[in-house]
Amino acid sequence: MSTKETISLKSRQLIDFCRTLTLDGDISDEEAWKLRKFLNDNPECCSEWPGAEIDYLLTKVFENGSASEHELKQIASKLISIEMKSFKIFNKEQIDELIESFSPYDCILPSIPTIVSIKSDSNPDETYYVNLSDSSCSCSDWYGERRHFQPNTLNRCCKHVAYALHKINKDSEYPEWLQCLINECRHSKKGLNPKFRWTIVLVKNNPVLFSSGNSDLINIYAHHDGNFSKFGYDIKEKRWSYGIRPHYSETIKIALGIQL
């Protein structure tokens, strides 16, 4: 994760300490001195966030020996803003961990306990709310076509669910098949077809995703020339769409149970 912010153990202890000081919403002179002492005892905190910011402020405040009422308020509001930022970072870490532990072999969407707001494509005044813990959305497509499917199944993926999965995880990738589906939804501005059946099989140790509806065409998401892409196979005519086939196409057909 290239842009992931990391916080050292010492700084985490500092954040916990700040939280105990601001529990009553205020900072007393004595508490400000305790904070000063924490930084003096742990000077390594002062070279990184959030210790450096607190150290800068406290040095300024205690220049004249004691802190005024106004300065104590300044310290309190600084600590509260640090707590809010750290909450966001910890929340992001938790999301990243859940995504990293998501199995690429289960044909389901990851369950991530967060709600993401997504603006409507057609009406900028309208916002939809996606709950990624069970892949639900407040849009009419989801309500009309998808709500009766089991939580986190691919049929529940309206375009907003795909946008939300993209929005919370811009810095890294999901399993390739899921990334491929998210990209498809983003480019087509459509959700996954709620009438399709979705299956994952392992071919040469790599997950290959199949989707099919009532037609003779089966969609296959698999590797080809270093990319994970979508292919079409017509069961009746026994041919690959546009003549383009993925790697291990014969094994894939066997896995699909297609008889030539």
Name the site residues for Zn ion (rule: CB under 5 A).
137, 139, 142, 158, 160
* Min dist. Cβ of residue 118 to Zn ion (A): 7
Cα distance between residue 127 and residue 121, in whole Å: 9
* Min dist. Cβ of residue 163 to Zn ion (A): 8
**Residue with Cβ nearer Zn ion (45 or 192):** 192
Answer for the pair 93, 81: CB distance below 8 angstroms, yes or no: no
Residue type (1 letter), 106: D
**Residue with Cβ nearer Zn ion (27 or 137):** 137
* Min dist. Cβ of residue 177 to Zn ion (A): 21
Checking 224-232 for CB contacts under 8 A at 24+ apart, the result is: 228/176, 228/177, 228/179, 228/180, 229/180, 230/180, 230/184
* Min dist. Cβ of residue 139 to Zn ion (A): 3
**Residue with Cβ nearer Zn ion (132 or 252):** 132
> Buried b vs exposed e over 80-101: b needs ≥16 C-beta within 10 Å?
eebbeebeeeeebeebbeebee
Contacts of 253 (CB under 8 A, 6+ apart): 233, 260
> Buried b vs exposed e over 157-170: b needs ≥16 C-beta within 10 Å?
bbbbbbbbbbebbe
* Min dist. Cβ of residue 146 to Zn ion (A): 8
